[in-house]
Structure 1
Amino acid sequence: MRKSIIAVDMDDTICHLVKRAIYHNNIDFPTHPLRYEEMFDWNTDHLRHPDSSHEIFFGRPGLYEELDLFDEHVVEEMEKLHGAYDVVIVTAAQPSSVLEKWNWLQKHMPFIPLENFIACKRKSLIAYDLLIDDGAHNLVPALEAGRKVLCIPHPWNLRAREQYDFPLMTEWKNAKERVDQILAD
């Protein structure tokens, strides 16, 4: 019998990218600070300093290897999910960040094998039974295609959460039980 496939995003789902990018932005551009609570869009139109750009905000060398875990439960719950399901990490990545993301994953979740690590921005191209993600640009097409989703709430997906009834997961504690329940429904 085939195991269900759980597609899990990396950035701001199992680790904190935007908060770390904001940290560096506020050091590099102290006259134009950003706040996580003000990040209502996933694009980088919010960058206030004229010398900043999408490439600077998300392209700092080493950024993806220094990200903090989402919470204290994420590693244990991901390991439980990996034992019960076919877990694939599906992450949007520039060529320069793929190795950093793989290194981060191997440092924190070495039980995820290379063949279950996919760099892909258009996650709708991947076959999965459940998507765990923070990006409305991934969650909405999945939901509209009849797939199951779990949304990690952040300011940038607030508008989509108001429009769509995504199941939410604010922390990773008991994530496996939550996934079991969603897949059983």
Structure 2
Amino acid sequence: MRNYTFEIDFDDVLAPFCGIAVELANAENPGLNATVEDIKSWGAGEEGSKQSIIARYYDDERILRKQHVSDAAREFIYKLMEMGDVYINTAVSPKYAGLRYEQIAEQLPDFPLENVILTFSKQTVKVDFQLDDGGHNILKSQAKYPILMRRPWNSHLSGVLAVNDYSEFLIMVEQIITASIKKVKPTVPSVIALIGPSGCNKNAIADKLAADGFAMRIHSVTTGEASKNHDKVSEEEFSGLKFISHTVYAGNRYGIPVDAIEEALASGLNAVIPTDITGSIAMKKEYPVVLVFCKASHEYMIDNILSKGLDNEAIKYRWLSMEKELMNKELCDVVVNSERVEDAVEVIKDLFA
């Protein structure tokens, strides 16, 4: 197996940063009562907001002094080093460059310091895999597979590969590496994750599999508009539910309920879920999952999107995310032509034969 290259961010990926800034802000601004959830984006935010007060501490040396690489982060880095060449790419102020090198040398003693890159221009580095919490870095990345580490300040970003923790990143890397060389042979019961852009018939295929008694259709919940595929809940209700995966799309939150999946699998039925690649990777941590990419032409998908009666904003989001979602094809276990629903359903059934 070839050696892969990994570019890993330091702040808020390997060691906390914003959380420490929040602690300092609360300690020195009585009554602020801020949390990391108050950081809605990267940067100073609106003047006078909690985010703007927190941002004043981003250049405070005390943050670096308080940062600590956890055992889990250390194990994660050393695991990646077994798989290939790892680079820690960190956007730290030049005046703290020496301190950052000291941090890494002390807390990651087996990591080669020559593989530490200090730059604010992360888009100049070309690697196979990048993991970063900065949405701006992911959107400009030259990595073959740029992957976002989900944090409150990037929760609005959709249409990109994203993970919630180290284990999901490792699963995603494994899926990417093996998808093209390993033929999948799923067993019943499994989760059938249907991946693909809006307009590619994911929901129609899921409905047909359910109608044929081949799988139980799993519906997600959303803070957006209710539909035959999504049950609407309030922001408060959404925050109180337990999901195997949740994501943001077109400004709305979507989640896949744990209970529904476990009910289907416990009954001996497959569970079929139209989802995104991030949701499917999260499910792989807990369940047997086969990733099915639903492939359709641009013209077909655009016609489908326009026929749904969506407002212009919703159409724009689906259009903008289409190209990035098409790139997920090579991450999936199998590709089906989804323009003819019945043919796609038969191909999926044959996987289990």
Same fold (TM over 0.5): yes
The equivalent of 1:156 in structure 2 is: 153
The unaligned stretches of length 5 or more in structure 2 are 179-330, 332-353
The equivalent of 1:4 in structure 2 is: 4
CA deviation vs aligned residue, 1:124-160 (integer Å, no higher than 9, x gap): 1012111011110011122xx5720222111111111
Residue 172 of structure 1 and its aligned partner are, at CA, apart by 2.0
- Structure 1 counterpart SS, 2:104: helix
Residue 176 of structure 1 and its aligned partner are, at CA, apart by 3.8
Match of 1:165, as an amino acid? V
Match of 1:152, as an amino acid? M
TM-score when scaled to structure 1? 0.83
Matched, 1:172 2:171: no
The equivalent of 1:77 in structure 2 is: 76
TM-score when scaled to structure 2? 0.46
- CA–CA separation in structure 2 for the residues paired with 1:37 and 1:49: 13
Asked if the contact 1:91/1:120 (under 8 Å) is kept, the reply is yes
Asked if the contact 1:65/1:101 (under 8 Å) is kept, the reply is no
Q: Which has the higher strand share?
A: 2
- CA–CA separation in structure 2 for the residues paired with 1:22 and 1:75: 24
Asked if the contact 1:40/1:156 (under 8 Å) is kept, the reply is yes
- CA–CA separation in structure 1 for the residues paired with 2:152 and 2:97: 25
Q: 1:131 to 1:104 in 2, by over 3 A?
A: same
Larger RCO: Structure 1 or Structure 2 (Cα < 8 Å, ≥ 6 residues apart)?
1
CA deviation vs aligned residue, 1:48-88 (integer Å, no higher than 9, x gap): 4899584x41122242132133x542211210111221000
Q: Which structure's CA Rg is the greater one? A: 2
Equivalent pairs: percent with the same residue? 21
Runs (4+) off by over 3 Å: 46-54, 173-178
- Structure 2 counterpart SS, 1:58: coil
Instruction: Count the aligned residue pairs.
Output: 178
Residue 166 of structure 1 and its aligned partner are, at CA, apart by 1.7
Matched, 1:68 2:63: no
RMSD: 2.6
- Structure 1 counterpart SS, 2:97: helix
CA deviation vs aligned residue, 1:11-56 (integer Å, no higher than 9, x gap): 11111100001101111112434221111111022574899584x4
